[in-house]
A and B are shown apart, each in its own frame.
Chain A
Amino acid sequence: MKIELVNRLVMFLSLLLAQVLILNHVHLMGVGTPLLYVYFAITFRRNFPKWLLLVSCFMLGLFIDIFSNTPGLASCVMTIAGLVQAYLMNFIAPRDSAADLAASIKTLGFSRFLALSGIITLLYCLLFFALETFNFFDMLMWLARSLTSAVLTMVLMLAIESVRSK
């Protein structure tokens, strides 16, 4: 448990710094920004204490918000992503698997991991950009930003995951 918490903390800090120093400056075709920190919410193991999962997702979101001047935005959506992950993990994991199954390509297999991360990332991007453009809601722009960002995030995430699973 202790090693797991240290691992989580390292992941928290590295995703936070990667996002605010590098990824927030990426704007593919002026619309797509990779939101890689959602990877933090996706990789919790099954039956991780739910309250801790929610609080740590919220904290990561809040720190991202503090750095990018969007208080409440990422923290709100990250908390939702954490909750969805906790339930989706039970649903997607094979029935006869271990109770503390980790969420990675190695343990879940490519297609199951793709489904888990795909659903959460897409949901995350749709909610994030809907809330961000609350005042100037433009359907096409919203879809374009959400989808390109979701695709970018997935590509990065799968690249990292395939390196980690070797």
Chain B
Amino acid sequence: MRNLLDFLYKYHHWLVFILLEVVSVVLLFQYNSYQGSVWFSSASAVAGKVYELESKMTAYLSMAKENEELTMRNIYQERQLDQLRRLYAEVTKDTTDAELKELEFLSQYKLIPAKVVENSIHKLENLITIDKGRKDGVEPDMGVACGNGIVGVVYLVSDHYSVVISALNAASSRISCAIRGRGYFGYLHWYGGDPSVAYVEDVPRHAKFKLGEWVVTSGFSSIFPSGVQVGKIEQAYNSSDGLSYKLKVRLSTDFGNVRDVVVISDKSIAERAALMQAARDSISFKQRQ
């Protein structure tokens, strides 16, 4: 017994070492699962605060460029809206109806403005930290977009901060997209490397599209509403199994310079998700019988 105690005393640092390694490895593998703890991420109170201070200090440097971009886009969209209103009125001969429908559509979504406090684009698995959390109404699985297009999907939420899986995340980001005006859909996938290029996979072989057309979110994923801008088609390839197309897309979001974003909260998502879950449960129940 005494020998054992002597032995333990002499080599107690090895026990400490093994203990610390076990803790690290548990953290390492636990974080990959969805239940990963928010305390060990940049959404924790201390890390969030430090990044927020840093981001406040550097924000004004990129303000001018961002404002210019937003103004351009605003003007473009106002003109587009105007044209569409006119066309709609020509077709239906009714203007009040259109406005009512518009309001109804917009009230379905709640937009929560947020600021990016930490961001990366050079890793394979990029994450973004924003300064809004549970107390501001942010929940996991909500979509995040900026003035120029999609940004990512909320992953972890603390009281005042959230971690967002960037669309530039080779391991976990799959956003459902469609080709604007054509309806064919696929999944947005990023393979690392150039932060302005991603690929849309699983587009059917019979799909018709032109290079330079816009890819937008499809609205099937129940995370983004349909029609949020993703990017322009630059090239089309055959997929490796030859069953579908793979589109190279030039992303419209400049991920190196996202500062102001909105979290999109769709009240019907929870309802749709519950319905989907109920359908799955009933199918698996039938199969078991």
A43 to chain B, nearest CB (A): 18
In chain A, residues 63-99, which have Cβ atoms closer than 8 Å to a Cβ of chain B? 65-73, 75-76, 79-80, 83, 86
The answer to whether B27 and A72 have CB atoms under 8 Å apart is yes
Residues of A within 8 A of B193 (CB): 30
The answer to whether B122 and A69 have CB atoms under 8 Å apart is no
Residues of A within 8 A of B26 (CB): 72
The answer to whether the Cβ of B233 comes within 8 Å of any Cβ in the partner chain is no
Number of residues from B at the complex interface, CB < 8 A: 37
CB-nearest residue of chain A relative to B57?
A21
The answer to whether the Cβ of B54 comes within 8 Å of any Cβ in the partner chain is yes
The answer to whether A71 and B44 have CB atoms under 8 Å apart is no
In chain A, residues 84-136, which have Cβ atoms closer than 8 Å to a Cβ of chain B? 86, 131, 133, 135-136
Give bound CA distance, A25 to B126, whole Å: 12
Give bound CA distance, A53 to B17, whole Å: 10
The answer to whether A76 and B21 have CB atoms under 8 Å apart is yes
Residues of A within 8 A of B27 (CB): 65, 71-72, 75
Residues of B within 8 A of A33 (CB): 122
In chain A, residues 13-30, which have Cβ atoms closer than 8 Å to a Cβ of chain B? 17, 20-21, 24-25, 27, 30
Interface centre among A58, A71, A80 (most CB of B within 10 A): A71
* Binding-face segment, B29-37, B89-97, B106-114, B206-214: B29-37
Residues of B within 8 A of A65 (CB): 27, 40
The answer to whether B16 and A69 have CB atoms under 8 Å apart is no
Determine chain A's interface SS by DSSP, over half rule.
helix
Residues of A within 8 A of B37 (CB): 71
In chain A, residues 45-68, which have Cβ atoms closer than 8 Å to a Cβ of chain B? 50-51, 53-55, 58, 61-62, 65-68
Residues of B within 8 A of A27 (CB): 122
Residues of B within 8 A of A135 (CB): 171
The answer to whether the Cβ of B24 comes within 8 Å of any Cβ in the partner chain is yes
The answer to whether A76 and B47 have CB atoms under 8 Å apart is no
The answer to whether A136 and B28 have CB atoms under 8 Å apart is no
The answer to whether B23 and A50 have CB atoms under 8 Å apart is no
Interface centre among A21, A76, A83, A135 (most CB of B within 10 A): A76
The answer to whether B31 and A75 have CB atoms under 8 Å apart is no
A109 to chain B, nearest CB (A): 27
Known: A27-B122, A66-B47, A69-B42. A75 touches B127 (CB 8 A): no
The answer to whether A83 and B17 have CB atoms under 8 Å apart is yes
The answer to whether B20 and A75 have CB atoms under 8 Å apart is yes
Interface centre among A62, A72, A131 (most CB of B within 10 A): A72
CB-nearest residue of chain B relative to A58?
B20
B233 to chain A, nearest CB (A): 25
Residues of A within 8 A of B171 (CB): 135-136
Known: A27-B122, A30-B122, A66-B42. A73 touches B54 (CB 8 A): no
The answer to whether A51 and B42 have CB atoms under 8 Å apart is no
The answer to whether the Cβ of B138 comes within 8 Å of any Cβ in the partner chain is no
The answer to whether B41 and A72 have CB atoms under 8 Å apart is no
Instruction: From B13, B40, B163, give the contact of A54 (CB < 8 A).
Output: B13
Residues of B within 8 A of A76 (CB): 21, 24-25, 28
- For this complex, 26 residue pairs linking A to B, each with C-beta atoms less than 8 Å apart, are A17-B50, A21-B54, A25-B120, A51-B13, A51-B16, A53-B13, A54-B16, A58-B24, A65-B40, A66-B40, A66-B47, A67-B47, A69-B127, A69-B129, A71-B28, A71-B36, A72-B24, A72-B25, A72-B26, A72-B28, A73-B28, A76-B21, A76-B25, A76-B28, A135-B171, A136-B192
Q: Which 5 A-B pairs have the closest CB atoms?
A: A72-B28, A72-B27, A76-B24, A50-B13, A71-B40
